[in-house]
Structure 1
Amino acid sequence: MKIQGKMFLWLSVFVLAVAILYGVWSKEPAGTTALFLAFGLCIMVGYYLAFTAKRVDAMAQDDTEADVADEAGEVGFFAPHSWQPLSLAIGGALAFLGVAVGWWLVYFSFPLLLIGLFGWVFEYYRGENQNQ
């Protein structure tokens, strides 16, 4: 984590230089403000990573002699195939389309969103994936 903190802190120095240079040359407030905000975000992330790196043990990425496999471990649990994300995606697309077309479309998207959400949450309580 130490190297990521240093990378973000150096990136913040670069973004600050670009923000000052852009602000002086362009005199455009929106882009200059966005670059100064990006500088602030880089400082916050870099400080957090550098601060956290002092509290945790050295990881494989901090060792220059480490192999890629040194940090390998359990990847995690992945759910089997599910149709619930499709229902959520269609319901979400209809809801956002309702903003452009008309709010009446949200009433048709709401049941799809609920079916997808409840189906995904309770996926392991029924059917072939049910825990015994």
Structure 2
Amino acid sequence: MKIQGRMFIWLAVFILAMAVVYGVWSKEPVGTTALFLSFGLSIMIGYYLAFTARRVDTGAQDDKDADVADDAGELGFFAPHSWQPLSLAIGGAIAFLGVIFGWWLMYFGAPIILIGLFGWVFEFYRGADQNQ
């Protein structure tokens, strides 16, 4: 993860330089603001990855002599059959249609999003009395 942190930090430096150059030459506030916000997002991601890389073991991507097979193995736990992403997608689609057709559609999209969000977060949660 060290290399990803460095990549995002260098990307942030490049975006900052381009934001300054773009702002001076174009004098256009919207694009300049977008570039400065992109700089902020890149530096946050780069700092997080660099900070996290100090606390975890070095991975195969940090070793210059590593093979592709060195990074094989379990990547994490993923829900095998979850309907919650579908609920979030439908609710998000209705909410974004609300921006186009009318904000009243948010009244239908927001509860679907909340149901999907709470369902996904608490999908594998069991209370203290149900662990037997």
What TM-score does the superposition give when structure 1 sets the normalisation length? 0.65
Once the two structures are superposed, what CA deviation does each residue of 1:46-103 show, in whole Å capped at 9, x if it has no partner?
1221122122221111001111121221254452596x83x66556544544551573
- Equivalent pairs counted in the alignment come to 118
Matches of 2:16 and 2:106, distance apart in 1: 45
Matched-pair contact (CA < 8 Å) for 1:94–1:106: no
2:9 matched residue in structure 1: 9
What TM-score does the superposition give when structure 2 sets the normalisation length? 0.65
| Structure 1: gaps (5+ residues) | 125-132
The farther-off stretch of 91-100 and 41-50 is 91-100
Equivalent residues in 2 for 1:1-132, closer than 5 Å: 1-75=1-75, 76-80=77-81, 85=86, 89-90=89-90, 92-94=92-94, 96-97=96-97, 100=101, 103=104, 113=112, 117=116
Q: Which has the larger radius of gyration?
A: 1
Q: Which runs of 4+ in 1 moved over 2 A?
A: 74-82, 87-99, 101-107
Compute the RMSD of aligned alpha carbons. Answer: 3.4
| Structure 2: gaps (5+ residues) | 125-132
